[in-house]
Structure 1
């Protein structure tokens, strides 16, 4: 199994590298105008300790649990998408909670959203169960080092850390996010559902609705909406992708404060085509786990 895992890991490394590269470009483009968040990004992306946290999160959930990827690529995709959502909301005149309630300025908001997105899943290295709580615990020393570099006032540092930790803890769909900043991170987490992140567990034999539905989602776009500020467009090659959209992305939207500001659109492609792409040809149950056979 180790040889098969390493072979698949190498095969799909190209996909991860492309997603990482694209996400980093988005992050760095958006942060050009936001100095605090840019400093945080430069510190975190080059932090060797944090890199080990991402790597071990992937080790547990992908190699050991045969679950979808939750390492550095996922963290950066979520961060990029969170910043896209934040950018559009700000452009449309929506005032973030931290600004509205006098807890910080827009620069602080960008730092909170970016940092929470990058750290939200590091707790998977402990266990998938309760990983949001583990992520909070593991993030605290990282945040203390980071925020000491950016904020002189201990009170302000405490406020910013609170906002980040709330976003990390509530990123799952069964937890209520009470701030706009946390809700952005939560929804952005749900947008990382495209086929690349489930390819390895699927090829390792973990065939279930999570892996098959993720393989069915070809791409996700985050754009300005017409009747609401933000549209999230999900393009699927198979109708099973609706599980990702309804049971994960939409539940995350409903469990936050952005439900009236974001519209989700799911479309099967190519549009007008009468049949879906077949994702599964034959399943065989072995030792309690279904495996996919291509013939």
Structure 2
């Protein structure tokens, strides 16, 4: 199956957030916010510009608009599966906000978590905070009064900061962003540096990951709400799973609800056959 065909099949199987689908959470406010994000020129300019330092100048994997789309879709899929499994979220609730605001926090944090790359790739999570704060000051007033907007802003910024593994999430909304960021590891993410000759471990390990799919836990995995199935075609993919993703999952506040299994499907490369987190 071609990569385009896989993408189409994945979208049909729940890899893209569908506003018209049935969800395990109130989605009305999220759908309004989604429309506003799509129509916001400042946000879209950031998403294009943030790839210059990451890819063009530093040779890292994609951190632009496609990465943001994938992380946001993974985050909302992960959130939906956790909600279906009865997992309670604490970020919005502890701020006196509504359940409907949980998904908005997740969507906005996923959208803005990497904009600090326009300043520098190194320590970008810390640069994302003031830039995202400026965007949120303008954006949130469309949907919230002053008190709600301040609280929403704080929760979104917390989730943005904690996608960085040096800062531990204090909310499950932030944990979702942290794990969803780590789940963007399929080979398409490293296409640009790979085609330019990049052969670093981040690029090669991503090239070894063919497919990532989030499903409800069933069968032998029915004791967890989320089962993540990763297909590797080369043992180099171990770096993505056992180093990067494992670090994101640790202390995420959702690690006990997520099971991750990576299988090496290439018959002549069985140095590593299976990894389970």
Q: TM (normalized to structure 2)?
A: 0.87
Pick from 232, 244, 248 the counterpart of residue 236 of structure 1.
Answer: 232
Task: Tell me which residue corresponds to 2:274.
Answer: none
Q: Structure 2 vs 1, CA of residues 103 and 131 (structure 1 numbering), >3 Å: closer, same or farther?
A: same
Distance 1:21 1:145 in 2: 34
Gaps of 5+ in 2: 271-277
SS state of the match for residue 256, structure 2?
A: coil
Q: Is the 8 A contact 1:222 1:230 kept in 2?
A: yes
Q: Deviations over 1:30-69 (max 9, x none)?
A: 5885121112111112211111111111122111111101
- Shift of the 17–268 alpha-carbon distance from structure 1 to 2, 3 Å rule, reads closer
| Corresponding position of 2:126 | 133
* TM superposition outliers: structure 1 runs of 4+ over 4 Å: 12-25, 29-33
CA RMSD of aligned residues (A): 2.8
Give aligned pairs, total: 263
Aligned match of 2:55: 62
Q: Which residue of 1 aligns with 2:109?
A: 116
User: CA contact under 8 A between 2:169 and 2:251: conserved in structure 1?
Assistant: yes
Q: Deviation at 1:29? A: 4.2
Pairwise CA distance, 1:275: 1.2
CA pair 29-49 structure 1, distance change in 2 beyond 3 A = same
**In the alignment, what sits opposite 1:249?**
245
Q: 1:99 deviation in Å?
A: 5.5
Which of 217, 241, 244 is equivalent to 2:209? Answer: 217
Change (3 A) 1:261 1:241: same
- 1:175 partnered with 2:171: no
Larger Rg: 1
Structure 1 pair 217/230, CA: closer, same or farther in 2 (3 Å)? same
**For the Cα contact (< 8 Å) 2:232–2:264, is it kept in 1?**
yes
Q: Which residue number corresponds to residue 26 of structure 1?
A: 17
> Does the aligned pair in 2 maintain the 1:20–1:76 contact within 8 Å?
no
Partner of 1:281: none
- Partner in structure 1 of residue 86 of structure 2: 93
Contact 2:230 2:261 in 1 (8 A): yes
Structure 1 residue 26: Cα displacement: 2.1
CA 1:27–1:247: 2 relative to 1, 3 Å = farther
Residue correspondence of structure 1 range 2-21 to structure 2 within 5 A: none
Structure 1 residues 59 and 40: alpha-carbon distance in aligned structure 2, compared to 1, 3 A threshold: same
Shift of the 93–76 alpha-carbon distance from structure 1 to 2, 3 Å rule, reads: same
Q: Secondary structure at the match of 2:97?
A: coil
Q: Does 1:201 align with 2:193?
A: yes
Within 2, Cα distance between the matches of 1:31 and 1:175? 33
Give me the whole-angstrom Cα distance separating, in 1, the residues matched to 2:115 and 2:12.
20
1:15: Cα distance to partner? 10
Sort the Cα spacing of 1:143 and 1:100 in 2 relative to 1 into closer, same or farther, 3 A: closer
* TM-score (structure 1 length as normaliser): 0.82
CA 1:234–1:13: 2 relative to 1, 3 Å: closer
Structure 1 residues 216-251: Cα deviation after superposition (integer angstroms, max 9, x where no partner)? 000101111112111111110111101101111111
